[in-house]
Structure formats: structure tokens, C-alpha cells
């Protein structure tokens, strides 16, 4: 079962990237924000979404600095990446 906060991917449209479930609706529909496609309203039965488990994902952490009102503000961006089988 896919719930709010889960990471998913669309097996037919891999270019959409990894999506995060933002909201679940009555009837099973899901609002998902994909990296490459934005927000989509999908039904997991029709879209055949694959739920990604923690051991399938690596997290790329990008640290940076942004200048805001003349001050340096540290920033962090976390990007989930699907592990590839190396065997």
C-alpha cells in the first residue's frame, strides 16, 4: 500500500524520475510530485507505480551557500537516487 511520504517511480515513464507522494485521496488516487514531470494525480492501479524501499535508494546531499540580504546562508538539498544493480 502506498501512503503519503512514500517514494515511488512510474515503470513505464522512467524519465519522470523519483516521485514523492504528497497526498492520498478517497478512492485510491495519489498526488505525486516527480522530479522530471512535476505534480501528477494518478491511480496506482492504472499507473502501476512501484514503491521504492529504503534499501533501494541512495541520497545525494548537496551543500551550498546562498547570499540572502547580504548574509551567507548555508543550504542543503537532498536528492533521492535509485541504486543500480552492479552484478
Separation between Cα atoms, residue 85 and residue 32, nearest integer Å: 26
Q: How many domains does the chain have?
A: 1
pLDDT at 85: 60
* Domain coverage including residue 42: 7-82
* Average pLDDT, consecutive stretches of 10 residues, N- to C-terminus, the chain (87 residues): 91 91 93 94 89 86 92 90 66
Neighbour tally for 84: CB within 10 Å? 6
Report yes or no on 38 lying in a domain: yes
pLDDT in tens, 77-86: 888 888 776 4
- Examine residue 87 and state whether it is found in any structural domain, yes or no: no
> 62-71: per-residue pLDDT in tens?
999 999 999 9
- Whether 1 is covered by a domain: the verdict is no
Its pTM stands at 0.73
Residue 36 counted as domain residue: yes
Q: Is residue 2 a part of any domain in this protein?
A: no
Amino acid at each position: 500500500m502506498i501512503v503519503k511520504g512514500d517514494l515511488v517511480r512510474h515503470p513505464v515513464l522512467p524519465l519522470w524520475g523519483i516521485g514523492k507522494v504528497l497526498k492520498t485521496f478517497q478512492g485510491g488516487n495519489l498526488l505525486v510530485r516527480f522530479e522530471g514531470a512535476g505534480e501528477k494525480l494518478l491511480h496506482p492501479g492504472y499507473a502501476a507505480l512501484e514503491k521504492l524501499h529504503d534499501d533501494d535508494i541512495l541520497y545525494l546531499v548537496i551543500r551550498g551557500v546562498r547570499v540572502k540580504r547580504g548574509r551567507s546562508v548555508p543550504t542543503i538539498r537532498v536528492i533521492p537516487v535509485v541504486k543500480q544493480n552492479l552484478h
